[in-house]
C-alpha cells in the first residue's frame, strides 16, 4: 500500500486546521568556547547579540547564553571540561545558519567590527528540476505563489574561538515560512483582541442592567439575564413608580 505526497500533505493540513496553534521552536543551541567572558563580549559587541541569561548553577557551573536581535533562538556558550569530547568541538563548524535580510550589509557591518569572514558574500541560485517544478502546486503551502527557485546570498565567518557559522539571506522557502508564522501571530492577536472586546462589551452590558431593586413590601422579585453567548441584545429594567408600585420592562 502506497500513499502519495499530496495525500500526506492534505492530511497534514487537515490536522493542522483542526489543531489549535501551539508554540513550537528551537530554544537553545550549544556553542563550545574557551573563555565565556571573552566569547560573551564578542557576541554582544561585535555581532550585536543580547545576553539571554548569565547565571551560576548550584554545581558551580556557569550558564551563559546570547540571543540574536529577534530572540528566535538562544546560543548557549559552554566552556567544556578539558580533554572532553565537547572540548574537541571548539574551533570547528557549528553547522549553525544565521538568517538576515541583507547579507552584504551585515558583512560590511560585522567586518568593520573585526568579525573574520572566510570570503565575501556569494550569490547562490538553484533551480529545481523539471519533476520538482511539476509539483509546485502541491508545494504551494510551503513555497507560496512564487516560482520554485531557491536563491540566497551566503557568507561564512568565525567567532573568537574559531567556531564557524554561515550567514545567509532569506530564500523563498524561508520567506514563505516566515509569512506563515507572521500570519499565525496576526490571527492569534486578532483572536485575543476580539476576546478582549467581547469581554469589555459583556462588562458594559452588565452595568446597564439594574444594579439595585426598588424595595416592595408586598412583592419579592429578582431579575437575571443569561446570554447564550458572551454578549446579547436582551435588556430589562425595574421602574420605581412610587407608593409601593413597581414597573418593569
Span 73-131, pLDDT tens digits: 899 999 999 999 999 999 999 999 998 878 889 999 999 999 999 988 887 665 656 66
- The overall average pLDDT reported for the chain is 77
- Spatial distance between the Cα atoms of 214 and 166, rounded to a whole number of angstroms: 76
The conformation of residue 206, written as its DSSP 8-state character, comes to: H
- Spatial distance between the Cα atoms of 53 and 30, rounded to a whole number of angstroms: 14
Residue ranges making up the domain that contains 50? 25-90
- Indicate whether 194 belongs to any domain: yes
Total domains present in the chain: 2
Query: What residues contact 152, with CB distance under 8 A and at least 6 apart?
Result: 103, 123, 124, 168, 169, 170, 171
- Bridge-partner residues for 152, per DSSP? 124
Identify the domain boundary among 90, 123, 138. Answer: 90
- Indicate whether 242 belongs to any domain: yes
Span 128-174, pLDDT tens digits: 566 665 565 455 444 444 444 456 788 999 999 999 999 988 655 55
- Spatial distance between the Cα atoms of 154 and 173, rounded to a whole number of angstroms: 15
* pLDDT reported for residue 174: 57
Identify the domain boundary among 43, 61, 90. Answer: 90
- Indicate whether 85 belongs to any domain: yes
Span 199-211, pLDDT tens digits: 777 776 766 667 6
Greater confidence (73 vs 217) lies with 73
The conformation of residue 21, written as its DSSP 8-state character, comes to: P
Query: What residues contact 77, with CB distance under 8 A and at least 6 apart?
Result: 31, 33, 36, 39, 40, 43, 64, 65, 66
Contact yes or no for 49/43 (Cβ under 8 A): yes
CATH assignment of the domain containing 56: 3.10.180.10
- Indicate whether 81 belongs to any domain: yes
Amino acid at each position: 500500500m502506497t500513499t502519495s505526497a499530496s495525500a500526506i500533505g492534505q492530511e497534514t493540513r487537515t490536522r493542522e486546521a483542526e489543531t489549535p496553534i501551539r508554540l513550537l521552536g528551537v530554544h537553545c543551541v550549544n556553542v563550545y568556547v574557551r573563555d565565556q567572558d571573552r566569547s560573551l563580549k564578542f557576541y554582544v559587541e561585535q555581532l550585536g547579540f543580547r545576553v539571554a541569561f548569565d547565571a551560576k548553577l548550584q554545581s558551580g557551573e556557569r550558564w551563559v547564553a546570547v540571543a540574536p536581535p529577534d530572540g528566535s533562538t538562544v546560543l548557549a556558550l559552554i566552556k567544556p571540561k578539558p580533554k572532553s569530547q565537547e572540548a574537541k568541538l571548539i574551533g570547528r563548524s557549528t553547522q549553525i545558519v544565521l538568517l538576515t535580510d541583507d547579507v552584504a550589509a551585515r558583512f560590511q557591518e560585522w567586518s568593520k567590527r573585526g568579525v573574520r569572514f572566510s570570503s565575501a558574500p556569494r550569490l547562490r541560485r538553484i533551480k529545481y528540476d523539471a519533476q520538482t517544478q511539476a509539483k509546485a502546486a502541491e508545494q504551494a503551502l510551503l513555497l507560496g505563489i512564487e516560482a520554485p527557485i531557491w536563491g540566497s546570498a551566503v557568507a561564512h565567518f568565525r567567532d573568537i574561538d574559531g567556531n564557524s557559522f554561515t550567514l545567509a539571506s532569506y530564500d523563498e522557502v524561508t520567506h514563505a515560512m516566515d509569512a506563515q508564522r507572521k500570519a499565525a501571530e496576526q490571527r492569534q492577536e486578532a483572536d485575543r483582541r476580539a476576546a478582549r472586546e467581547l469581554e469589555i462589551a459583556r462588562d458594559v452590558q452588565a452595568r446597564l442592567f439594574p444594579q439595585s431593586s426598588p424595595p416592595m413590601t408586598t412583592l419579592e422579585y429578582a431579575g437575571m439575564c443569561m446570554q447564550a453567548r458572551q454578549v446579547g441584545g436582551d435588556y430589562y429594567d425595574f421602574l420605581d413608580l412610587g407608593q409601593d408600585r413597581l414597573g418593569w420592562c
